[in-house]
């Protein structure tokens, strides 16, 4: 079984941690619905809900198998409480699908805003 995953930072194609998606399937470029922003967490981004946002966040959707998802959960520190994986709402053509993303579990308060797209 595969899971659709929205990546918005260092896991994207051409970025420093993309190797963690090796062997997985790129589905397409995507954007969240309005209401999300990226924040600088110290060399990598975190996504958070921001009610005033009108543009959303640009990223990529990947289809990942169960083994890759388990490895990504370890990489993202899910079990250590650094990130949590949860559904995220995307614009069409992904609007009707269940797609997950990693959210910083410790929040983004006081962190610099990055806007809608991460570039390395």
**Any idea which residues carry the catalytic annotation?**
76
CB 106: neighbour CB atoms within 10 A?
A: 11
Give, in order, the Cα–Cα distances in Å from 59 to each of 23, 34, 69, 79, 118: 19, 13, 17, 24, 8
Burial group, residue 9, by CB count within 10 angstroms (0-12, 13-18, 19+): buried
Nearest CA to 47 among 3, 6, 2, 92? 6
Asked if 5 and 72 touch (Cβ cutoff 8 Å), the reply is yes
């Amino acid at each position: 079984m595969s899971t659709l995953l929205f990546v918005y930072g260092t896991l994207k194609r051409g970025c420093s941690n993309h190797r963690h998606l090796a062997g997985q399937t790129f589905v397409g470029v995507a954007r969240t619905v309005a209401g999300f922003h990226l924040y600088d967490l110290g060399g990598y981004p975190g996504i958070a809900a921001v009610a005033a946002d009108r543009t959303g966040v640009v990223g990529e959707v990947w289809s990942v198998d169960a083994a890759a998802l388990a490895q990504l959960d370890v990489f993202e520190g899910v079990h250590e409480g650094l990130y949590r994986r949860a559904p995220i709402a995307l614009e069409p053509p992904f609007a009707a699908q269940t797609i997950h993303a990693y959210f910083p579990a410790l929040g983004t308060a006081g962190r610099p805003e990055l806007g809608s797209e991460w570039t390395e």
